[in-house]
Amino acid sequence: MAKQAAVIGSGVMGHGIAQEYALAGYTVSLYDLTEELLRKAKNSVESSLSLLVREQVITEQAKRDALERIVLTTDLDAAAAEADIITEAIPEVIELKWELFAKLEQAAKPEAVIASNTSTFSIARLIEQAKTPHRFIITHFFNPAQLVPLVEIVRHEKTADEVVAAVMDIIAGLGKSPVLLKKDVPGFIANRLQAALMREAFSLLKDGVADAREIDTVMKDGIGFRWAFVGPIETADFGGLDTWKRVIDNMAPVLDDSQKAPALIEELVAKGELGTKTGSGIYSYAETSVEAILKERDEQFIRLAKMKRR
């Protein structure tokens, strides 16, 4: 099994992916353009690991060991040279990804797997300029990557079967839940489901059916409460397919069918109100600590994961 990994890009997703590999015993080269970005990433990993210690998921020694396994570097060739699996986690700009992949194909070992964390591009688009397409694959982690179990795996017809099998084993070895898509579709599975639900949620908000907090409560304390353990297709089976036939027949004609982002999101983006990253979005964060909100979210994610593992 591979024990040398590299993560290219140390941002929101990259540092979490590096943490997962390090906790699983891999030596991880974490690459970014500047030392400042890498220091910020290392601090984020240390904070995340400390939270896992406080929640008694890992020991203090496991935290120290994981931190020691993460090697920070601004040298791309050095990051890729010994890696058995390389994960790209850079911005969703196809030209940047093509440029990076060309460099990785030169710097990496011939047998190294090159994986992308993209949530936007198809595997066919990613490998358009690849000279060794057989070793490319998508491993789509979810934010926060170090806490959410799901990883969507997307292959191309040119991806070698042994690469797919190895990556499925590697991701499972990280303690994740890998799902291999049988088709490469835009948005994969999770983002398609999320987008459908988000479209309807914002439609209800626009129509004044309920306010944002009430809609979020319905999701968190109703649908989301069940979906943590029972998926939508299981829900149909459990509720009776005849019942769900009537529900969908009655509801489908009146559901929102917008073909673009909700007007409210468009308006807020135009004003630079982007949510927690700017202190204001649908909700205002002016009188609260975003860091505290995200810490509480992560604590709850950790506790849920512990419960699901039992």
For the annotated catalytic residues, the residue numbers are 119, 140, 152, 191
Going by C-beta distance under 8 Å and a sequence separation of 6 or more, which residues neighbour residue 184? 122, 123, 124, 154, 155, 156
Distances (CA, A) of 72 to 29, 30, 89, 126, 252: 6, 5, 15, 26, 51
**Phi and psi angles of residue 114, each rounded to the nearest 5 degrees, phi first:** -115, 115
Strand partners, 114: 86, 136
Phi, psi of 210 (to 5 degrees): -160, 165
Contacts of 80 (CB under 8 A, 6+ apart): 6, 8, 29, 31, 86, 103, 104, 107, 108, 112
Q: For residues 187 and 114, what is the distance between their CA atoms, to the nearest angstrom?
A: 20
1-29 burial, b at 16+ Cβ within 10 Å, e below that, comes to ebebbbbbbbeebbbbbbbbbbbbebbbb
DSSP state of 219: I
- Residue type at 260? K
Assess whether the previous peptide bond of 149 is cis (omega < 30° from 0): no
Question: What does the alpha-carbon distance between residue 2 and residue 107 come to, in Å, rounded to a whole number?
Answer: 18
DSSP letter at 133 equals G
